[in-house]
Amino acid sequence: MQAQDSNNDRISPLGALSGLLDYDMKAVNALIIEHMQSDVPMIPQLASYLIAAGGKRIRPLLTLACTKLYEGDMGRAHRLSAAVEFIHTATLLHDDVVDDSAERRGKPSANAVFGNEASVLVGDFLFSRAFQLMVADGNLDVLRILSDASATISEGEVLQLATQSNLDTTLDDYYKVIKGKTAALFAAACEVGPVIAGQDDKTITATRAYGMALGMAFQIIDDVLDYAADQETLGKTVGDDFREGKMSAPVILALQEADDEEKSFWQRTIADRDQTDADLAHAQKLIEKHDVITKGMALARIYTKQAQDNLPKGSELATCLNALCDYVIDRNY
Amino acid sequence: MQAQDSNNDRISPLGALSGLLDYDMKAVNALIIEHMQSDVPMIPQLASYLIAAGGKRIRPLLTLACTKLYEGDMGRAHRLSAAVEFIHTATLLHDDVVDDSAERRGKPSANAVFGNEASVLVGDFLFSRAFQLMVADGNLDVLRILSDASATISEGEVLQLATQSNLDTTLDDYYKVIKGKTAALFAAACEVGPVIAGQDDKTITATRAYGMALGMAFQIIDDVLDYAADQETLGKTVGDDFREGKMSAPVILALQEADDEEKSFWQRTIADRDQTDADLAHAQKLIEKHDVITKGMALARIYTKQAQDNLPKGSELATCLNALCDYVIDRNY
């Protein structure tokens, strides 16, 4: 992973973090490949298709960083980082089935290539593998943290499904959705670090709060980018959320400022899901008109500020984790 | 649960087991209802739709029986029985999505009522809840047994997908599929009992072997009934496996005796999935012609014999578990 800021040639905080944890990420990647093996050939085929497609590996990096920050056992962190990435990969597979996505990370999605059936079942397999890795670690606190996160993720996903196409969805409803579907796993990925390092409750709570707030900001920006980003840079199909009628931050913010004509537009496209080819461009125009990107970034910044307030000072890793917050806002991937 | 043998009015071994464990099953049902709750209303709605539809609850009964047989802590058995049933329910939800089933237990399936999306996500939720229940129990051996079983279930399901429509599928391939998709959870459900009762390895291995063999027989008969049973008695749509091109025991056994014309029939209907309304009746005729039901029952009996050999003698519960083996073969549900 050589994540570089495409605006200039400096290494991004994500790249810096990957650099500091290069040895550990290699160990995690080896564990991921080892544990996605199975006697049933379709499982490693599908899993490696998705995992080889790349992705930022931000969640396992957080587990590694938060373990190293508190001088925990890195061997255990490797295993648990792989578990965290498996949980994430399982939810991606199931998400793409739920959203009927055609692309993921700029490639045809796994469900488009292997079928929905295989995606559901291999998702289940990876989820089970995650638990096997946690059981091998043997710490019940970690098992509790990650099984709680898993339950919360599916609650967030179901809530998202329930708010789909519902124009009455508030920003608070939206926050509940993304807290479940995204921030809960960021929080758990971070919390695992000080837990296996045997830190006190105050440190554990702060590290968890860092991950939770970072995850909130990450998802808000992700949702904003779905209306703003250049498709090729983003490496995913722009406009997916619009086509699926998702009540994400940009739509909620644009609706707050909408006149009657604009309200009819959102009613037709998001609530009634009656869309033409020209509608995405018009939606993006409304998003621009009401300065929604800037507003969304401001909301995300409230969370990254929270995240930064929960970090210790001083070490190179802490500095990276701090810079990562700003990077999450400024990224254009 | 008042499972009665419909051929006469004697209580079936399943009914007798439910009777002996009536207090415990009520406790398990209460835990199931308690733990399927969520702030997201669609989750208990969908889960209770499926769980209220009934079902035999055979897996939690096995956990309860195998715990009581060895005088284990029944409070722990209640929680773990609920976990086992949640794992099973999650796989049912995902199965119905994978098979695109319209009915389950004589009612429209959850995916038909709530949509595939919700079924995938609520399945994930119940699976996570299962792990939360196991973590609350706190025994790492139990967590290992059930997370291993979960991984094996999805491997079996993926293998089933890979053998679908493949007429070269052997009886051995089929055994691998059903060992994964069904017998592994029966085995784990039983094994948990002597594990929490602190029994020695020999007892644990024998109890696991009982569950594994019972599960094999259970699935063979289930597959045979899909070609033989009367739809109303079975409480599920007969012929589902045929329509899905599943290479289950009846097709494999019928193919072994098929002449060229019959081979062409199976080629068209199972391999090419080119079926007309009259084909299921013709398939059933071929099954009957080659005495496949009797042959399937004979295969299942090899397994129930194995299961019975692994049971201790003497107690009322052991007698019930023994009789359950014969009942699995003779049932017509």
Residue to mutate among A132, A154, A179, with most B CBs inside 10 A, is A154
- C-alpha gyration radius of chain A: 20
Alpha carbon A252 to its chain's center: 20
- Yes or no: say if B287 and B228 are a contact pair by the CB < 8 Å rule: yes
- Partner residues linked to A107 by β-bridges: A104
**Gap between the Cα atoms of A84 and A313, Å rounded:** 26
Q: Using an 8 Å CB-CB cutoff, list chain B residues near A40.
A: 155, 158-159, 162
Least confident among B22-26, B232-236, B312-316: B232-236
CB contact under 8 A, B124 and A153: yes
CB contact under 8 A, A138 and B140: yes
- Yes or no: say if B328 and B62 are a contact pair by the CB < 8 Å rule: no
Model pLDDT for residues A143-156, shown as the tens digit of each residue: 999 999 999 999 99
Mean pLDDT calculated for residue range B205-223? 97
- Yes or no: say if A60 and A28 are a contact pair by the CB < 8 Å rule: yes
**Gap between the Cα atoms of A177 and A251, Å rounded:** 15
Using the 8-state DSSP alphabet, how is residue B170 labeled? -
Chain A: closest CA distance from residue B172 (Å): 14
Q: Is the pLDDT of residue B329 over 80?
A: yes
**pLDDT at residue number A5:** 42
The pair of structure tokens assigned to B308 is 């019975």
CB contact under 8 A, B91 and A127: no
Give the residue from B129, B140, B112, B107 showing the smallest Cα distance to B32. Answer: B129
- Yes or no: say if A58 and A14 are a contact pair by the CB < 8 Å rule: yes
The pair of structure tokens assigned to B128 is 């996570």
**Gap between the Cα atoms of B173 and A41, Å rounded:** 14
Q: Using an 8 Å CB-CB cutoff, list chain A residues near B42.
A: 158, 161-162
Q: Is B202 exposed, middle or buried (0-12, 13-18, 19+ CB in 10 A)?
A: exposed
Q: Which helix (H) or strand (E) holds B107?
A: strand B107-108
Alpha carbon A224 to its chain's center: 14
For chain B, say whether A227 makes contact (Cβ under 8 Å).
no
Output the tens digit of pLDDT for each of chain A's 333 residues.
Answer: 344 444 445 688 989 999 999 999 999 999 999 999 999 999 999 988 887 766 789 999 999 999 999 999 999 999 999 999 999 999 999 988 877 777 777 788 888 888 888 999 999 999 999 999 999 999 999 999 999 999 999 999 999 999 999 999 999 999 999 999 999 999 999 999 999 999 999 999 999 999 999 999 999 999 999 998 665 555 556 888 999 999 999 999 999 999 999 999 999 999 999 999 899 999 999 999 999 999 999 999 999 999 999 999 989 999 999 999 999 998 765
Give the residue from A323, A325, A322, A327 showing the smallest Cα distance to A304. Answer: A325
Q: Is A242 exposed, middle or buried (0-12, 13-18, 19+ CB in 10 A)?
A: buried
- Yes or no: say if A134 and A142 are a contact pair by the CB < 8 Å rule: yes
For chain A, say whether B173 makes contact (Cβ under 8 Å).
no
Q: Is the pLDDT of residue B2 over 60?
A: no
**pLDDT at residue number A332:** 61
Of residues B91, B129, B161, nearest to A118 (C-beta) = B161
**pLDDT at residue number A249:** 97
Model pLDDT for residues B198-208, shown as the tens digit of each residue: 999 999 999 99
Span between the terminal Cα atoms of chain B, in Å: 14
Give the residue from B1, B6, B18 showing the smallest Cα distance to B323. Answer: B18
CB contact under 8 A, A125 and B154: yes
- Yes or no: say if A165 and A247 are a contact pair by the CB < 8 Å rule: yes
- Yes or no: say if A226 and A242 are a contact pair by the CB < 8 Å rule: yes
For chain A, say whether B328 makes contact (Cβ under 8 Å).
no
Complex confidence, ipTM:
0.93
Model pLDDT for residues B273-308, shown as the tens digit of each residue: 999 989 999 999 999 999 999 999 999 999 999 999
- Residue in chain A closest to B46 (alpha carbons) equals A158
For chain B, the structural domain boundaries read 13-330
Mean pLDDT calculated for residue range B245-263? 97
Q: Where are the beta strands (DSSP E) in chain A?
A: 103-104, 107-108
Inter-residue long-range contacts of B101-105, CB under 8 Å, 24+ positions, other chains counted: B101/B237, B101/B240, B102/B237, B103/B236, B103/B237, B104/B50, B104/B53, B104/B236, B105/B53, B105/B54, B105/B55, B105/B235, B105/B236
CB contact under 8 A, B121 and A158: yes
Q: How far is CA A333 from CA A156, A221, A310, A327, in A?
A: 24, 10, 26, 11
A98's CB contacts (< 8 A; 6+ apart) are A157, A161, B116, B117, B120, B121
**Gap between the Cα atoms of A214 and A211, Å rounded:** 5
Mean per-residue pLDDT of chain B: 91
**pLDDT at residue number A115:** 86
Return the number of CB contacts < 8 Å for A and B: 135
Model pLDDT for residues B50-83, shown as the tens digit of each residue: 877 667 899 999 999 999 999 999 999 999 999 9
**Gap between the Cα atoms of A216 and A218, Å rounded:** 5
For chain B, say whether A172 makes contact (Cβ under 8 Å).
no
**pLDDT at residue number A146:** 98
Q: Using an 8 Å CB-CB cutoff, list chain B residues near A158.
A: 38, 40, 42-43, 118, 121-122, 125
**Percent of chain B beyond pLDDT 70?**
93
Fold classification of B13-330 is: Farnesyl Diphosphate Synthase (1.10.600)
Q: Assign B220 to helix, strand or coil.
A: helix
Q: Which helix (H) or strand (E) holds B150?
A: helix B140-163
Residue A41: how many other CB atoms lie within 10 Å = 12
Span between the terminal Cα atoms of chain A, in Å: 14
- Yes or no: say if A251 and A262 are a contact pair by the CB < 8 Å rule: no
**pLDDT at residue number B5:** 42
Mean pLDDT calculated for residue range B88-113? 83
Residue B257 phi, psi (nearest 5)? -105, 5
Q: Using an 8 Å CB-CB cutoff, list chain B residues near A161.
A: 42, 117-118, 121
This prediction has a pTM of: 0.94
Least confident among A52-56, B132-136, B256-260: A52-56
**Gap between the Cα atoms of B140 and B63, Å rounded:** 17
